[in-house]
Structure 1
Amino acid sequence: MFEYDPVMYSRILTYVTLGFHVIFATIGVGIPLMIALAEWMGIKRNDPHYTLMAKRWARGFIVTVAVGVVTGTAIGLQLSLLWPNFMQAAGHTIGLPMFMEVFAFFFEAIFLGIYLYTWDRFKTKMRHFLLIIPVVIGATASAFFITSVNAFMNVPQGFELVDGVLQDISPLAAMFNPATPTKIAHVIITCYLTSAFILGTIAAIHMIKGNKHVYHKKALHLTMVAAAVFAIGTALVGDLSGKYLHEYQPEKLAAAEWHFETESEAPLIIGGFLTEDNEVKYALEIPYALSILAGGTPDTEVIGLNDFEEDKLPPLFVHYFFDLMVFIGMFLAAVSVLFAIMSWKNGWNPFNKPLLWMIAAGGPLAMVAIESGWIFAEVGRQPWIINGVMLTEEGATTSAHVDIMLYLFIILYVVLGVTCAVVLRKMFKRNPVELELEKLESSEKTAQ
């Protein structure tokens, strides 16, 4: 029999909730921008295909928003129920960004409702397009504020620690800590990249099945060109994130790269496995790459794991999540840039089957990268819930029945996930692109 451990169950329930919520949070941040790009293209080119794209994407987006509201509310409740000591200690410090995140969501929701119900109700299409701008701003602002909370947990500041109590709190100083720029930039740009690939995956699957309608070709071109831009941005931000870790969380960087000895000209470790003596076997080493990632030069000294207290080190399996995140990011960049290049070269066919299959795989893989990144970010901070201030076990509840909550929430998420998938599938299966275009053309002829 397993001994009941409220800390373990609290961590598992939090991981399950965050892991499920991040799917809808990612879509919630990225899809509004893609809707805006599609509608803008429709207006600029007077192209009904792009306008229909925006309508269909917005229709599906509202379903994911509904699920995201439920899971987001669950996270808010679980912070108080599962981590009461953390909230008591840090509540005043992180209260401002958490409130602002709720405000940003309501700001987004108000304009999203107006946007959805005012299609074709303005004299000029541009006026309707302007309504999506606040939705994009609100969605991105939500990511900004909630990620600043996570940034505070990694590099806490804006308070004085007196006898274990956080005093003289400055919420703005806490929110704009050294982790904020790279963490927020990384979260937002990867949300954009993932959303572009998810929409591109849908178009690619249609084309693989034999549907060569120009609508899907235009959708694929829009999403992949956007993805290429976001992928390059992700790589740049990733480089800055490595330099941030080197300066402020060197133990996390060392754990990600299985770097044990402090040295310059440090190699980057890819794959492999660790022996009981912490010897790395069967890994690919890229000479000097870790030093370059950390400081920009091969002679940058990178602190090793052996220089830290053993009981304060993160689990070393985060190495695999870090590698997975980076590998998928490189794959997405290669696929999207290749598609963009082939689109611009005369005589090259970007809609060939091998490339379509890679794009089709890109959407699910992008979400796997998002999940891997969050696992690396959260587990890589362990054993701290507030880095250097409060251990995770100190912040957790001691109440019973957290295990029952875990099972109930898993059932809830299964129901929500299946329901969301079924609703979206039926919504678009009953209204295929061809049928909607026919209705659009007939309505335009009637109007004339």
Structure 2
Amino acid sequence: MSVHEVLAQMSDAAPTVLASAEPAGLLPARQQMALSLGWHIILACFGVAFPAIIFVMHLRGIRKNDPVALDLAKRWAKVSAVLFAIGAVSGTVLSFEMGILWPGLMGTFGDVLGLPFAFEGLAFFLEAIFLGIYLYGWGRIPPKRHLLMVLPMAVTGVIGTYCVIAVNAWMNVPTGFNIVDGEITDVQPWAVLFNGHVFAQFAHMWVAAYMVAGFSIAGVYAVGMLRGRRDRHHRIGFLVPFVFATIAALAQPFVGHFLGEGLDERQPAKLAAFELAETTTDGASPLRIGGVYIDGEVKGAIDIPYLGSLIAQGSLDEPVPGMDTIPAEDLPPVNITHWAFQTMIGIGLLLMLAVLLYWFMRWRGRDLLDNRWFLRFAAVGGPLAVLALEAGWIATEVGRQPWIVYGVMRTPEAVGDFTAGLWGVLIASIVLYGAMTVGAAIVLRSMARRWRNGASDLPSPYGPELSEAGAGEER
């Protein structure tokens, strides 16, 4: 069922709330969800991308009989376990929040969304199992068989993320059900899991995960090189994830453009906010850089003629639909959406230019790893990629407002009647996530310090200790 068909049925069967006062619990529920999702999505990126990066490093170690590469793979696996454990906590919190904060959504569409959430849970448990096998298997499983234990980790991480993205894509383009007398009927769970929008949206997130993980891991070794550690360990530790980040940074603009095709038909209000188009022009629309939307007017923007239509519509004369064509109650928070979108685009282009510069200079015979300015930029590449990721999610989620399920259910309808203590829960969540962040930083810094001091293998909380012969089997 298309969005337009759903809208037609909803107008006859179950009118939506348009201009009523916002429920008291809406603001804390939104803030709670933004905090949880914004924090968890960073860890999800490592769950998606880190296993593949570890696999390549481990494979390099086996094929080239490279003890440095094997040591890096082993260390990264332990770092991955720490991040996985923290992600398990935040993911569990999110699963409860969906029902507690948004009972209107889950109560109405629980049958629709059940399948992707069930598959995501199964993928999470399988990933945990194979992560444990991989960690325990060093020196205990034949090298090639041990290497293969990384592949299920990578596959299940991708499947779990796909399932979550399928739900979000469905919220943007709802399908797989009918509405009869205000009731959800004819549920088609597989249509939700494989809705027409999910593949492009998943590709965008999948590539973003490699940007976040690749630039973040490379940045750690860039900091080490800035501190004088220019051994082979740091150079390989930088280059392998940087190759992944390079491919992702170069692919992302094309994937993002593909995702945006047809947005003028799916969500014209979001596109108008992205482009800060207050009116529909007679001809081509300009690309607006910066600017704010105040009292129906755009102020302070830099206009580049024709480029807005070319990027958004693939045409030099077709205008971008303006906000004047959209009812006021259906407009998202325009300035937040516009600035988040442009922040994502700007950082993405900056990272793309940086990787192009590195490989061009390397092709010309100059290694920028000897340049302190490049290393400084590489050190902040990870935080920049995270900022672009968060900005992208803000753009797509805030840009969908005021709908939680586009064209079907408005966000105030989804929030629960329970409001007592929501602000307290939000404060408690801030403390929890803050404590987990600090705890993760302390654990990871402690691991790094012991590795620098020569500890070849950190103590394991389970299993027999490895003998010297067993520890060197994979080498």
- Give TM-score, length-normalised by structure 2: 0.88
Question: Which residue of structure 1 aligns with residue 439 of structure 2?
Answer: 419
Asked whether the equivalents of residues 139 and 472 of structure 2 are also in contact (C-alpha less than 8 Å), the reply is no
Output the aligned Cα RMSD.
Answer: 2.2
Distance in 2 of aligned mates of 1:170 and 1:239: 29
Question: Which residue of structure 2 aligns with residue 33 of structure 1?
Answer: 52
**1:90: how far off?**
1.0
Question: Which residue of structure 1 aligns with residue 12 of structure 2?
Answer: none
Question: Is 2:96 aligned against 1:77?
Answer: yes
Match of 1:98 among 117, 122, 140: 117
Distance in 1 of aligned mates of 2:107 and 2:471: 64
Question: Which residue of structure 2 aligns with residue 112 of structure 1?
Answer: 131
**1:15: how far off?**
0.9
Distance in 1 of aligned mates of 2:200 and 2:43: 22
- Structure 1 window deviating more from structure 2 (74-83 vs 25-34): it is 25-34
Question: Is 2:428 aligned against 1:401?
Answer: no
Distance in 2 of aligned mates of 1:164 and 1:201: 53
Question: Which residue of structure 2 aligns with residue 252 of structure 1?
Answer: 270
Question: Which residue of structure 2 aligns with residue 220 of structure 1?
Answer: 238
Asked whether the equivalents of residues 139 and 470 of structure 2 are also in contact (C-alpha less than 8 Å), the reply is no
Asked whether the equivalents of residues 85 and 395 of structure 1 are also in contact (C-alpha less than 8 Å), the reply is yes
Count of residue correspondences: 441
Match of 1:157 among 175, 178, 187: 175
**1:301: how far off?**
3.4
**1:120: how far off?**
2.3
Q: How does 1:380-395 map to 2 (within 5 A)?
A: 380-395=399-414
**1:434: how far off?**
5.6
**1:446: how far off?**
8.9
Instruction: Supply the AA of the counterpart residue of 2:224.
Output: H
Give 3-state SS (helix, strand or coil) of 2:184's partner: strand
**1:193: how far off?**
1.3
- Residues 180-224 of structure 1 show CA distances to partners (whole Å, capped at 9, x for unaligned) of 121111111100111000000000000011111111111212122
Distance in 2 of aligned mates of 1:250 and 1:50: 49
Question: Which residue of structure 2 aligns with residue 86 of structure 1?
Answer: 105
**1:347: how far off?**
4.2
Question: Is 2:366 aligned against 1:365?
Answer: no
**1:296: how far off?**
2.1
- Structure 1 window deviating more from structure 2 (44-53 vs 60-69): it is 44-53
Match of 1:184 among 202, 211, 215: 202
- Residues 248-301 of structure 1 show CA distances to partners (whole Å, capped at 9, x for unaligned) of 1121111011012224422221112234342232x2323322222223222233
- Structure 1 window deviating more from structure 2 (3-12 vs 246-255): it is 3-12
Distance in 1 of aligned mates of 2:199 and 2:304: 28
Judging changes above 3 Å, is the alpha-carbon distance between structure 1 residues 331 and 433 closer, same or farther for their aligned structure 2 residues? farther
Distance in 2 of aligned mates of 1:433 and 1:38: 22
- Structure 1 window deviating more from structure 2 (208-217 vs 41-50): it is 41-50
Question: Which residue of structure 2 aligns with residue 298 of structure 1?
Answer: 316
Judging changes above 3 Å, is the alpha-carbon distance between structure 1 residues 444 and 403 closer, same or farther for their aligned structure 2 residues? closer
Asked whether the equivalents of residues 23 and 412 of structure 2 are also in contact (C-alpha less than 8 Å), the reply is no
**1:407: how far off?**
1.5
- Residues 139-188 of structure 1 show CA distances to partners (whole Å, capped at 9, x for unaligned) of 11111010000001111011112233221111111222232121111111
Question: Which residue of structure 2 aligns with residue 122 of structure 1?
Answer: 141
Structure 2 unaligned spans of 5+: 1-21, 458-465
- Structure 1 window deviating more from structure 2 (165-174 vs 385-394): it is 165-174
Judging changes above 3 Å, is the alpha-carbon distance between structure 1 residues 171 and 115 closer, same or farther for their aligned structure 2 residues? same
Match of 1:431 among 446, 451, 465: 451
Question: Is 2:83 aligned against 1:64?
Answer: yes
Question: Which residue of structure 1 aligns with residue 159 of structure 2?
Answer: 141
Instruction: Supply the AA of the counterpart residue of 2:395.
Output: F
Give 3-state SS (helix, strand or coil) of 1:274's partner: strand
Asked whether the equivalents of residues 208 and 353 of structure 1 are also in contact (C-alpha less than 8 Å), the reply is yes
Instruction: Supply the AA of the counterpart residue of 1:390.
Output: M
Instruction: Supply the AA of the counterpart residue of 1:229.
Output: I
Distance in 2 of aligned mates of 1:444 and 1:122: 10
**1:350: how far off?**
3.7
Question: Which residue of structure 2 aligns with residue 354 of structure 1?
Answer: 373
Structure 1 unaligned spans of 5+: none
Match of 1:170 among 188, 197, 210: 188
Judging changes above 3 Å, is the alpha-carbon distance between structure 1 residues 323 and 446 closer, same or farther for their aligned structure 2 residues? closer
- Structure 1 window deviating more from structure 2 (334-343 vs 313-322): it is 334-343
Question: Is 2:389 aligned against 1:375?
Answer: no
- Structure 1 window deviating more from structure 2 (75-84 vs 217-226): it is 217-226
- Residues 335-359 of structure 1 show CA distances to partners (whole Å, capped at 9, x for unaligned) of 2222233334324444311111111
- Residues 105-137 of structure 1 show CA distances to partners (whole Å, capped at 9, x for unaligned) of 1121111111111012234x2221111011000
Question: Is 2:219 aligned against 1:201?
Answer: yes
Give 3-state SS (helix, strand or coil) of 2:338's partner: helix
Asked whether the equivalents of residues 151 and 183 of structure 1 are also in contact (C-alpha less than 8 Å), the reply is yes
Distance in 1 of aligned mates of 2:411 and 2:377: 40
- Residues 6-43 of structure 1 show CA distances to partners (whole Å, capped at 9, x for unaligned) of 11111111111111111211222121111112112222
Asked whether the equivalents of residues 201 and 362 of structure 1 are also in contact (C-alpha less than 8 Å), the reply is yes
Instruction: Supply the AA of the counterpart residue of 2:195.
Output: N
**1:404: how far off?**
1.7
Give 3-state SS (helix, strand or coil) of 1:166's partner: strand
**1:436: how far off?**
3.4
Question: Which residue of structure 2 aligns with residue 321 of structure 1?
Answer: 340
Question: Which residue of structure 1 aligns with residue 252 of structure 2?
Answer: 234
Percent identity between the two aligned chains: 37
Question: Which residue of structure 2 aligns with residue 14 of structure 1?
Answer: 33
Give 3-state SS (helix, strand or coil) of 1:161's partner: strand
**1:445: how far off?**
12
- Residues 372-420 of structure 1 show CA distances to partners (whole Å, capped at 9, x for unaligned) of 1111111111001110100100000111221121111111111111111
**1:241: how far off?**
1.7
Question: Is 2:291 aligned against 1:272?
Answer: yes
